[in-house]
């Protein structure tokens, strides 16, 4: 626990009945970072976030939120978008945002003023006086999201914020997250969609089966997999497979294989010598998606 | 290892709890009051009153019609007619207007008075309740099915007229002096009436209003707002806030009707004004009114907290509907218990009802009517407030365990330092 961390937790355990939903998770979120909690469905992401926020108490373990060992005492400086969205259907959008702010200690009048600004910026100015029940699900979700930042929290916790949004609004949300980071907030969000995490996260942790399987930057995660090569020969021939590494797979647009440990030069030299030539070649790290699948899948198989 | 933000101190913590509670209360109050349904709720008593008024008017006009046509008849010797009329006027003035005997018709006695008297009962224009004939020394009185009282009046009238004649004129023989006396202590009847009034009044208001609390958590559970609330605000604040919000609605209801009834006397149920003027609580009227309101608050908060806590465990509207019967029974039981002890505030029944938290507000209000000692009320209010806190704490814990599936953080007094 130190000043550089917005959240730190060690050995968090949560049992529901006999099942250990969270089984000893450590987490350390630096201040000012965008931090992702990744994991498949049912991995324990939501339960972990709830414990970090003090909504539920862990069976074991310690956590510190903005320096408080009782997370609830920091509640006025935290914004939270739960996975199960919910607003009062009879409230108008502006009031709903002001209410969420008021729960966190923001004056109602200031809340209403900021709500207008936020709605305007999100392109929802026309909805300020609409009741929540009249809004589409995606719009209501945006309203709730605005309500979770209206009091300008130091820490913003978003549980699966992208689910239920169309691609345009997903873009808007990414922009909003980055804007909050630029304001100085720390952002912790969970997702099982890798593309967002890959673009946004400074650091991330991958949870599966109630345990952390990986902790580090996106580059670190991708670095757990070797480079992959995509090779298109100039001259196809029957002997080509024998010259490529054992895992090479032929696809419609060429061959794909894992770059061997010493690099790709040896293989390429053999191919050129054999007269197959090189029409196309790319060598790159696999995406976070592949890393995620390998980390989660591999662990599950070994578990 | 240092703490970046200064941990909040106890007063600001308490202030924050208050602020959070009031935010929830405000939301609930606004959400309840600014709806069309609220108007229906507010004017519900009007429906009851208008039915009552229509029924009352009908019965009244039927009765009045009959009253006005009812007569008593005296077939008197012509010499006695003036004396008879004067005596009737004098005696009649003793009765209140509603209870006066039917109008008296005085006729000179015909030759065959018995036959004539009998025939009077068969006339169509008027109902004859009773007829007097014969000499005043031995008056003969016939009376119909509703005329038993009227016949006794006619007998008394004959006697009094005869006495006037014998004593030589209508001049009064005695000269009374009437002086009003006010009691310096409250009457037993007034105290008992006050005791029952207070128990019944609190019961009636609570029965009307506190039952609403049972369904209030269902809203948050069904629209999933509970997670946002639980994340931002302690559950105890959520519960207390919702209770205060509903109480605000109840107070609005009571104030609205209280003002209306006090300003427009005709809206009050018949006899209410007379009944209220008879109330003479032992503790004094201003204190009694204050205590009545305080005990109504406590009774609402206590029962409301129990209902809210129980209702919060219910996961469907069906379960909540099923709960309304046991809830009403609990309230009626508390009312019955407190009412049983209302007459004797120092009996065992009464003391038990005063101590048991749920019946305590009723029973203590009755005690205020019966006994002038003030300190037990301060103790009782503190005792009831403690139970409100206990019920809310227990309800919040049960909710956290049962619904949110969370354990409970270690207990800490509000004044203990954070960290």
Inter-chain touch A66–B5, beta carbons under 8 Å:
yes
Supply the DSSP symbol for A41.
T
CA trace torsion B372, B378, B383, B387 (10° rounding): 110
- For residues A67 and A116, state if they share a domain: yes
Residue A303 belongs to some domain of the structure: no
In chain B, ranges of CATH 3.40.190 domains: 70-166
Whether residues A38 and A139 share a domain: the answer is yes
Task: Please tell me the least confidently modeled range out of A28-32, A182-186, A245-249, B390-394.
Answer: A245-249
Smallest CA–CA distance from B26 into chain A, residue: A99
Partner residue facing A88 (CB), from B16, B31, B232: B31
Residue of A nearest to B24 (CA): A103
CB-CB neighbors (< 8 A) of B219 in chain A:
88
Instruction: Assign B418 a pLDDT band (cuts: 50, 70, 90).
Output: very low
- Rounded to an integer, the average pLDDT of B327-354 is 82
Contact predicate A96/A144, CB 8 Å: yes
Note whether A82 contacts B2, CB cutoff 8 Å.
no
pLDDT digits (tens, 9 = 90+) for B142-179: 998 878 888 899 899 889 888 888 887 777 778 888 88
The confidence score (pLDDT) of residue B279 equals: 67
Q: Which residues, at least 6 apart from A123, have a Cβ–Cβ distance to it below 8 Å? A: A172
Domain range for residue A27?
5-217
Please report which confidence band the pLDDT of residue A99 belongs to, taking 50, 70 and 90 as the band edges: very high
Residues A155 and A242 in one domain: no
The pLDDT tens digits of the residues spanning B46-55 come to: 787 788 788 7
Arithmetic mean of pLDDT over chain B:
80
Instruction: Say yes or no: A178 and A249 in one domain.
Output: no
Pair (A129, A244) in one structural domain: no
Residues 6+ apart with CB under 8 A from B282: B186, B191, B194, B368, B369, B370, B371, B372
Which SS3 state, helix, strand or coil, does residue A233 take? coil
Cα angle: B292, vertex B293, B296; to 5 degrees: 85
> Where are the strands (E) in B20-91, listed by range?
70-76
Domain identity same for A200 and A244: no
Chain B residues with CB inside 8 Å of A72's CB? 234, 409
**Domain count within chain A:** 2
B404 at A interface, C-beta within 8 A? yes
Chain A residues touching residue B227 (CB < 8 angstroms)? 55, 82, 84, 86
Which pLDDT does position B268 carry in this prediction? 54
| Phi, psi of B359, rounded to the nearest 5 degrees | -95, -10
The residues in A 104-143 lying below 8 A from B, measured between CB atoms, are: 104-105
Q: Which of B4, B20, B35 sits opposite A103 (nearest CB)?
A: B20
Q: Where do the DSSP E strands lie in B68-153?
A: 70-76, 103-108, 127-133, 140-143
The distance from CA A63 to its chain's CA centroid, rounded to whole angstroms, is: 21
The answer to whether residues A95 and A38 belong to one domain is yes
In 3D, which of B337, B364, B314, B334 has the Cα closest to residue B207?
B334
Question: What gap in Å lies between CA A146 and CA A125, rounded to an integer?
Answer: 12
Q: Do residue A44 and residue A108 come from a single domain? A: yes
Q: Is residue A144 within 8 angstroms of chain B, CB to CB?
A: yes
Question: Is the CB of A76 less than 8 angstroms away from the CB of B418?
Answer: no
What are the structure tokens assigned to B118, written together? 């009998």
Residue A151 tokens, joined: 């009091």
Q: Does one domain contain both A184 and A112?
A: yes
Q: Does A18 touch chain B (CB under 8 A)?
A: no
**A82 at B interface, C-beta within 8 A:** yes
Helices (H), B110-234: 113-120, 148-166, 188-209, 216-223, 225-232
Confidence class for position B407, pLDDT limits 50, 70, 90: low
On whether both A128 and A235 belong to a single domain, the answer is no
- Check CB contact under 8 Å for A86 and B227: yes
Write out pLDDT tens, residues A202-235: 999 999 888 888 888 888 888 888 888 888 888 8
Does the distance separating the beta carbons of A105 and B407 come in below 8 Å?
Answer: no
Identify whether residues A179 and A257 lie together within a single domain.
no
pLDDT digits (tens, 9 = 90+) for B212-258: 777 777 778 777 888 888 888 888 899 999 999 989 988 998 888 88
Residues A230 and A213 placed together within one structural domain of the fold: no
CATH number of residue A23's parent domain? 3.40.50.300
**CATH number of the domain that residue A245 is part of:** 3.30.70
Could you read off the pLDDT of B209-225 as tens digits, one per residue?
777 777 777 778 777 88
Q: Which residue of A has its CA nearest to B25?
A: A103
CB within 8 A of A259, min separation 6: which ones?
A226, A227, A228, A229, A283
Instruction: Report the interhelical angle of B235-263 vs B225-232 (nearest 10°).
Output: 110
Q: What is the pLDDT of residues A11-69, one digit of tens each?
A: 999 888 788 888 889 999 999 999 999 988 888 899 999 999 988 888 899 999 998 88
Minimum mean pLDDT range among A105-114, B83-92, B317-326, B398-407: B398-407
Architecture of domain B70-166 in this structure: 3-Layer(aba) Sandwich (3.40)
Instruction: Say yes or no: B36 contacts chain A, CB-CB below 8 A.
Output: no
- Starting from the edge strand earliest in sequence, which strands make up the sheet with A60-65, in order? A19-30, A5-16, A60-65
Nearest residue to A208 via CA among A301, A101, A96, A80: A301
Q: Which of B222, B229, B406, B419 to mutate to test the interface with A (most CBs of A within 10 A)?
A: B406
């Amino acid at each position: 626990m130190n000043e550089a961390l917005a959240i730190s937790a060690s050995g968090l355990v949560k049992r529901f009945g006999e099942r250990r939903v969270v089984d000893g998770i450590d987490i350390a979120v630096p201040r000012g970072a965008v931090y992702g909690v990744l994991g498949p469905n049912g991995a324990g992401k939501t339960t972990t976030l709830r414990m970090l926020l003090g909504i539920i108490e862990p069976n074991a373990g310690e956590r510190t939120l903005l320096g408080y060992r009782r997370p609830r005492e920091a509640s006025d400086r935290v914004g939270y978008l739960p996975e199960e969205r919910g607003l009062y259907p009879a409230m108008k959008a502006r009031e709903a945002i002001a209410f969420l702010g008021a729960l966190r200690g923001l004056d109602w009048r200031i809340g209403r003023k900021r709500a207008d600004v936020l709605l305007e910026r999100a392109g929802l100015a026309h909805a300020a006086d609409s009741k929540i029940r009249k809004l589409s699900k995606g719009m209501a979700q945006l309203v709730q999201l605005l309500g979770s930042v209206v009091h300008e929290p130091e820490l913003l916790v978003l549980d699966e914020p992208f689910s239920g949004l169309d691609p345009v609004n997903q873009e808007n949300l990414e922009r909003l997250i980055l804007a909050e980071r630029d304001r100085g907030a720390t952002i912790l969000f969970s997702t099982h969609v890798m593309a967002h995490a890959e673009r946004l996260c400074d650091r991330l942790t991958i949870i599966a089966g109630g345990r952390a399987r990986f902790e580090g930057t996106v580059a670190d995660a991708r670095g757990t997999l070797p480079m992959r090569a995509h090779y298109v020969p100039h001259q196809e021939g029957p002997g080509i497979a024998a010259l490529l590494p054992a895992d090479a797979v032929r696809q419609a647009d060429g061959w794909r294989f894992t770059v061997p440990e010493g690099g790709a030069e040896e293989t390429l030299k053999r191919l050129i010598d054999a007269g197959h030539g090189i029409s196309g070649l790319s060598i790159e790290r696999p995406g976070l998606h592949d890393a995620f699948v390998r980390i989660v899948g591999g662990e599950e198989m070994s578990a | 290892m240092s703490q970046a933000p200064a941990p909040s101190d106890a007063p600001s913590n308490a202030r924050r709890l208050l602020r959070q509670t009031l935010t929830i209360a405000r939301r609930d109050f606004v959400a309840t009051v600014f709806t069309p349904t609220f108007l229906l709720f507010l004017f519900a008593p009007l429906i009851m009153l208008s039915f009552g008024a229509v029924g009352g008017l009908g019965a009244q006009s039927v009765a009045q019609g009959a009253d006005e046509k009812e007569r008593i008849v005296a077939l008197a010797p012509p010499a006695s007619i003036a004396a008879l009329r004067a005596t009737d006027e004098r005696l009649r003035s003793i009765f209140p207007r509603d209870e006066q005997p039917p109008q008296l018709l005085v006729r000179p006695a015909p030759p065959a008075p018995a036959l004539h008297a009998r025939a009077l009962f068969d006339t169509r224009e008027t109902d004859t309740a009773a007829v007097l004939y014969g000499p005043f020394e031995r008056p003969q009185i016939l009376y119909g099915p509703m005329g038993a009282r009227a016949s006794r009046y006619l007998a008394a009238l004959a006697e009094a007229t005869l006495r006037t004649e014998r004593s030589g004129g209508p001049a009064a023989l005695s000269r009374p002096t009437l002086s009003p006396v006010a009691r310096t202590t409250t009457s037993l009847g007034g105290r008992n009436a006050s005791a029952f009034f207070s128990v019944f009044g609190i019961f009636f208001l609570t029965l009307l209003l506190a039952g609403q609390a049972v369904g209030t958590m269902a809203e948050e559970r069904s629209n999933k707002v509970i997670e946002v609330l639980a994340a931002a605000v302690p559950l105890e604040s959520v519960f207390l806030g919702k209770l205060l919000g509903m109480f605000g609605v109840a107070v609005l209801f009571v104030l609205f009707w209280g003002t209306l009834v006090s300003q427009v006397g005709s809206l009050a149920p018949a006899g209410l004004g007379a009944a209220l003027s008879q109330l003479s609580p032992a503790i004094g009227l201003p204190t009694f009114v204050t205590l009545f309101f305080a005990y109504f608050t406590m009774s609402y908060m206590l029962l409301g907290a129990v209902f809210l806590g129980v209702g919060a465990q219910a996961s469907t509207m069906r379960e909540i509907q099923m709960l309304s019967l046991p809830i009403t029974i609990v309230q009626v039981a508390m009312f019955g218990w407190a009412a049983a002890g209302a007459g004797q505030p120092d009996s065992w029944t009464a003391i038990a009802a005063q101590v048991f938290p749920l019946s305590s507000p009723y029973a203590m209000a009755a005690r205020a009517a019966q006994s002038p000692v003030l300190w037990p009320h301060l103790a009782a209010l503190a005792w009831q407030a403690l139970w409100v806190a206990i019920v809310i704490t227990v309800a919040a814990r049960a909710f956290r365990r049962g619904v949110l599936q969370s354990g409970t953080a270690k207990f800490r007094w509000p004044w203990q330092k954070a960290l």
